Structure 1
Amino acid sequence: MKGSKRGKMLLACLVSMTVLAGCGSGKSDDAGGGKAKDAEQAKINANGFPIVNDNMTVSAFAAKFFANADWNKIRLWTDYEKKTNIHVNWETVQTETLKEKRNLLLAGNDYPELFYASAFSRSDLLKYGKQGVFLPLNDLIDKYAPNFKALMDKYPIIAKGITMPDGNIYGLPTVYDPEFKSVLYGTPWVKQEWLDKLGLKQPESLDDFYNMLKAFKEKDPNGNGQKDEIAWGAVGTTGIVNYLRGSFGLNNHGTSNINVDTDPETGKVRFIPTDPRYKELLQFVNKLYKDGLLEQDIVSVKSTEVDSKGMEGLIGVVDNVDPVAIYNQKGYVGLNVLKGPHGDQQYTAYGSPLGNIGMFVLTDKAKNPEAMIRWMDYFYSDEGIKLFFMGWKDETYTEGANGSVDYTDEIKNNPNGLNLDQAIGQYLIWPGGYYPGFVKQQYFKGAEGLPTSVENAKKAEPYALKQDQVWPPFNFTQDEQSELTTIQTDIDTYVLEMRDKFITGNESFDNWDQYVAALDKMGVKRYVEIYQSAAERYAK
């Protein structure tokens, strides 16, 4: 969850689902889902399998990726049907058309009993929850989802992050295991061979960092007699800015709410993009850009262009996952967390363990919500995640004596020329990263699980925010969301636009006061007040 990097994670293709065998009994009242019935009457088994004694069919809508086979025939779901006695009739769409199709179903009252991997926003969860279209899950979780409940008890940020201001939970999330450090954070990667050749140590300060990049650019570390090295290679300026936020004392609650944190002096919410420390950060990055130490087309460069340079071994610092995974370039190590001009040395460029919280939603058309919560809860267990990600022992994966698992050769080196996503996508649905679940290191085969990534995280850990310091994305009341909708998009867009202009020199820092004044006119004061209210609710 490395802030902006989360979108780039290879794991984005690998969300792990943990699910524990559901258990619970007794009556669920209307607050738990409206249609809740006595478990015996509904013929729901309190624990174990099958979940229901009589076969039942449920309608469901989901987003999927091209690598997945037909969900109505894919083995994950056909095997799980035999285990549960629950047949799910899947309607799936590609992620590119998800939002449009999802909204059409809701607008036309033609929606299914459950939405899976449909990525509802927080505002949509509250909106349709208030309308009664989405069922409150609180009581259902208490009675029929002991495994997910155990996770909420262990990690309070989950319950706080998925509970709406009205006190209800309307969706189940993707959760990144807080113990899986290398999926949560890790610094950019530096080419150790270049450091060694130039006799440089890892940078400790901003000056060291500048001098290292300058040496990469000017001293021909690849030894080909040409100045073709890219000191810092990346798409966009987000990576370099985020890497340095903690060195300037910014984002002391992480990057889930990217433009706000707590002002150390007042204890109130601070709007970061107008803070003097943020201005200093941009001035430093502008110096890097002006002196040619960043990719000169960093604002407009395409990822394919950066990838091409990366695969040629021309990039000194890579702002992505381990280059061995994306560029087949070995020998990169994690950068140090740098000490800033005011003595700050903290790594803050990551969000909370919570991914999308609207990945499993039950609607008011659900005939047996108790059964479906149990159905989902299995995939928050160790057994469930193992099935979800690895499949079947000796068929899709092998297991070592110490419990370690790996895909079979047929999956890793498919005889039909399929890549990993395509090969495993004939059996399982994880390729693409869209589903509720629990991302656990033991079953995670993406780049963040590599030993090098684990070491990178260990290096950053002493400087990383503690779990109780990190904010998840805030949930807002309907009134607050209504106000934010009118001002937030313009403010956030302007902040990003001006960040790039200041960095590239297309806007002079002499005009900083005008920039601040423009944000004031856009309503930044009210923006901060709304976030202050949300922060106070979260603190309670």
Structure 2
Amino acid sequence: MTKRWMKTASLAVAAAVLATGAAACSGGKEAEKTAAPQSASPAGGASTNPVSAKEREVTVTFPEHPNQPVKNQAFVQQEILKQTNIKLKFENVPQSNYSDKKKTLLATNNLPDIIQIDMNDVNSFASSGLFLPLKQYMDKGLLPNFKKFWDQYPDMAKFTANGELYGFPAVGRNELKNGFGPVIRTDLLEKHNLGVPKSYDELLTVLQELKKLYPDSVPFSVRKGSTSMHQMFKTMSYSLGSGVGGGGNGIYFDKDKNGGQYVFGPATPEFKEVLTFFNKAYSSGVLDKDYAVATQQQWTEKLTSGKSFFFFDNSGFALDYTKQLKAAVPAGKFELIPVPTNKTGKARAEFYATTLSSDRIFAISSKAKDPETLIRMFDWMYTEKASNLMSYGVEGVHHTLDEKGQPKLKADYVSKFKEGQPTSFYAMYSELGSGKLSFTPYFANMDPQVQVEKLLGTWSDIHEKYWKTIADDKAYVDPVMDPPLTKEESSRVKELLAPLNTMLEQEYDKFVMGLKKIDDYDAVIKKAKDSGATEIEKIYNDALARLK
């Protein structure tokens, strides 16, 4: 345990009180020429023009994903030290505990030099002076590479609070698009002459037929996730005609509502259709009776053992789950299908954010020593050269550049991870210290993954079909980033959400399980509006109008 965590633990009681308040881009070569001082040395060589005149250790905290264990002083960190004189020391927290640890660090102002935050943290803590304001450095010309992205993406303005920027947003590069989508055992559809369902009514009919054919099965399974809002609401509500937002707090942007506006989904008549669908699935025996408490591990076991046939979640799971399923059912295959139409006749789905995301922001502590050196480090990290390193490893060792100057992983290096767990590419990312799940302000994640799959021969027709299905499905739209809220607005939203969500969470299961009639939900809608849902909608829509 680090000294920082020991100190933090001793302040836990006080922190608990305080904490409650609490894309594809082509790369930047032109900006790189005018960047702040950086290494001009070849990979592995001595630094001749470093970001820092002398070696400096910088502490960084970000969540450690279970799929990608963090190794301090991995290859990428070692090369960053050679090229910049910056020694990155990672002080990681397991992803499952990161939110609580982060709240404590923020509430006690006991931050590392750099910490990964999200826009909720910016809205809650920016005015408290915890984070270094960054615009002053852009105005001084110290962030030419980052400013290229600032000028390129208007949504960068959504990372501000009261007009100031308090963190560096992670920028994705060459990312393939996918999202929550419908995945089904197509081998069973073929075997029993069941057509691919084109509507949600047809989907229920197909799953009911499979339940008759396999009485001991759980045709439709879900994972609860890490919050009290059921995962099935978070993944499917938008497609069914309503929504609950990415964080499951009820507020979301609906492009089909009055030309596009924020809506508190559970406080609308449209949400009755969401509950109706799940009630039909539950009462017919199609939906897992344990949906409210199922863990991801249980969900995975049901799908890969042949007990469950359908899920609507991160559709990329279809590829890995098909591999695992074949051990139990050699002919089995999970495939993504086009998004079904809902009661209004519309097919709706959202991509994940691929270029900018409000949940990966790297803030510099206002107490960090010599902030200009950290500013120069970040600006260097937004160059294509640094992005290549942080995404593909060291040039000449782990990758080479093709005739177009694009990184290509070396086959002999990738071959080491043929038996890597949980997947070959995650095992490689872990050893390199690369990819989206590491400390990478400008990253490529999907392109190196595809390269690994193809070099190891695990890329197949199923992969090609998966990505083509998404590309051809016009139901998917890009997500809308939430506008920045003022500290007062953010505080008011939290004040309203806590009792509102508590009330709603006590009601959902009663309607899904048939303990209450769907028409009785009208009273819940009225109570939700009276309890603040309407005010929350106004706050978000006013913030959006103000930003425009």
TM range (shorter): 0.7 to 0.9
**Distance in structure 1 (CA, Å) of the matches to 2:196 and 2:537:** 38
Q: Secondary structure at the match of 1:228?
A: coil
Q: 1:290 to 1:252 in 2, by over 3 A?
A: closer
Match of 2:317 among 319, 322, 325: 322
Partner of 1:383: 385
* 1:337 lines up with 2:339 in the alignment: yes
* 1:270 lines up with 2:263 in the alignment: yes
**Distance in structure 2 (CA, Å) of the matches to 1:498 and 1:152:** 43
* 1:112-191 alignment, distance < 5 Å: 112=112, 114-115=113-114, 118-141=115-138, 143-157=141-155, 159-164=156-161, 166-177=162-173, 180-182=175-177, 184-185=178-179, 187-191=181-185
* AA in 2 matched with 1:441: M
**Distance in structure 2 (CA, Å) of the matches to 1:441 and 1:418:** 13
* AA in 1 matched with 2:289: Q
TM-superposed deviation, 1:275: 1.6
Q: 1:254 to 1:154 in 2, by over 3 A?
A: farther
8 A contact 1:246–1:344 mirrored in 2? no
Higher relative contact order (CA 8 A, sep 6+): 1
Which stretch has the larger CA shift, 90-99 or 342-351? 90-99
**Distance in structure 2 (CA, Å) of the matches to 1:128 and 1:106:** 8
| TM-score normalised by the chain length of structure 1 | 0.76
8 A contact 1:133–1:363 mirrored in 2? yes
Match of 2:419 among 404, 413, 419: 413
8 A contact 1:24–1:47 mirrored in 2? no
Partner of 2:53: 54
Match of 2:195 among 192, 201, 207: 201
Q: Deviations over 1:130-159 (max 9, x none)?
A: 2333221124346233343333333322x1
**Distance in structure 2 (CA, Å) of the matches to 1:154 and 1:527:** 31
Partner of 2:544: 535
**Distance in structure 2 (CA, Å) of the matches to 1:272 and 1:529:** 13
8 A contact 2:238–2:349 mirrored in 1? yes
Partner of 2:476: 464
Which stretch has the larger CA shift, 351-360 or 273-282? 351-360
Which stretch has the larger CA shift, 380-389 or 471-480? 380-389
> Percent identity between the aligned chains?
21
TM-superposed deviation, 1:193: 1.0
Q: 1:453 to 1:400 in 2, by over 3 A?
A: farther
Q: Secondary structure at the match of 2:510?
A: helix
* AA in 2 matched with 1:412: K
TM-superposed deviation, 1:23: 5.2
Which stretch has the larger CA shift, 393-402 or 168-177? 393-402
Q: 1:134 to 1:503 in 2, by over 3 A?
A: same
**Distance in structure 1 (CA, Å) of the matches to 2:397 and 2:344:** 56
Partner of 1:294: 287
Partner of 1:441: 446
Q: 1:453 to 1:353 in 2, by over 3 A?
A: farther
TM-superposed deviation, 1:283: 0.9
**Distance in structure 2 (CA, Å) of the matches to 1:281 and 1:417:** 34
Q: Number of residues paired by the alignment?
A: 488
Cα-Cα RMSD = 4.0
| TM-score normalised by the chain length of structure 2 | 0.75
Q: 1:532 to 1:104 in 2, by over 3 A?
A: closer
Listed as ranges, the gaps of 5+ residues in structure 1 are 1-14, 26-38, 221-226
Partner of 1:479: 488
Q: 1:302 to 1:103 in 2, by over 3 A?
A: closer
Match of 1:279 among 263, 272, 277: 272
TM-superposed deviation, 1:238: 4.8
**Distance in structure 2 (CA, Å) of the matches to 1:100 and 1:293:** 36
8 A contact 1:190–1:333 mirrored in 2? yes
**Distance in structure 1 (CA, Å) of the matches to 2:362 and 2:25:** 12
Q: 1:16 to 1:347 in 2, by over 3 A?
A: closer
Q: Secondary structure at the match of 1:232?
A: coil
Q: 1:123 to 1:219 in 2, by over 3 A?
A: closer
TM-superposed deviation, 1:240: 4.6
**Distance in structure 2 (CA, Å) of the matches to 1:397 and 1:257:** 42
* 1:249-264 alignment, distance < 5 Å: 249-251=241-243, 258-262=250-254, 264=257
Q: 1:481 to 1:79 in 2, by over 3 A?
A: same
**Distance in structure 1 (CA, Å) of the matches to 2:120 and 2:235:** 29
**Distance in structure 1 (CA, Å) of the matches to 2:291 and 2:246:** 24
Q: Deviations over 1:57-113 (max 9, x none)?
A: 244231353865653x3332222111113334554454455556555655666544x
**Distance in structure 2 (CA, Å) of the matches to 1:96 and 1:266:** 38
TM-superposed deviation, 1:189: 1.3
Which stretch has the larger CA shift, 255-264 or 381-390? 255-264
* AA in 2 matched with 1:151: F
Listed as ranges, the gaps of 5+ residues in structure 2 are 1-22, 41-47, 326-331, 454-458
